[in-house]
Amino acid sequence: MTTKVAIVTGASSGIGEETAKRLAGLGYTVYAAARRVDRMWGLVGGRPAQPHLTASGIRPVRLDVTDDDALAAFVKEVVAESGRVDVLVNNAGYGSYGSLEDVPMAEARRQFDVNVFGLARLTQLVVPHMREQRSGYVVNISSIGGKFYEPLGAWYHATKFAVEGLSDSLRLELAPFGVHVVVVEPGAIRTEWAGIAARNLREQSAGTAYADQAARVGAVLARADDPRLTSPPTVVADAVARAVQARRPRIRYVVGRGARPLLLARRLLPDRAFDRLVTTAYRVAGR
């Protein structure tokens, strides 16, 4: 039987790292892609003499999802080596926080380049091979942040709302070819993501009219380090594993502590009532 092949982006830590390990445990050859390849040798028990050959089934690859030429070369190499791509997990992303007024447009564009356009371009490159196989799974790691909103999170939430809409249209386009499109919506997960987002938020907002809001929102983001309030990244990896083993996977997998209650509140509450819920949670002034 031909070994199945998976690509996982953002695999140097957190959700991507755990997902790579989980898929390798299921017997996939996993191309674990990230900008910081030096952080991935722990996935394979140390740097091998030939990086493309590892006993773990995981092949670390240096990749910047905003580099179009690198993406094209990467997919070409994967197909040349393995002859197929069965799973694509689009996990690479980050959170750029700050007021819409203060965040430079260059940073806003970078947020979309990483979180949306990089995801879309890699999908463009992989889908023709899945379509030819008449099988495959595209798993987009979104967020509950694709369904609700926070103060000072306009650009980040805009990217995740975009991933949700992109995935829904893509799902209908690829269904006739036997290719599944799945969205995973994590809640609060213990990774380095929140700490980095909180630190950048405070730096971005220092000395501005939004400094007080930034301190309060940053404090909420920093709670992602508290195991009593969050879930480990393995819950996301487990959801990806369930999806790619299902003949008819769910359209969305909501995972992580607090995710379901929050999305239920967003669905049931009128907008102004949800506004009050958010402003209360973040202790920012509302009208």
Q: 113-151: b or e for each residue (b if 16 or more CB lie within 10 Å)?
A: bbbbbbbbbbbebbbebbbeeeebbbbbbbbbbbbbbbb
Cα-based angle 190, 31, 8 (whole degrees, multiple of 5): 35
Catalytic residues: 156
Q: Distance between CA 287 and CA 285 in Å, rounded?
A: 7
Q: Distance between CA 177 and CA 136 in Å, rounded?
A: 9
Handedness of CA 141, 143, 187, 15 (dihedral sign): positive
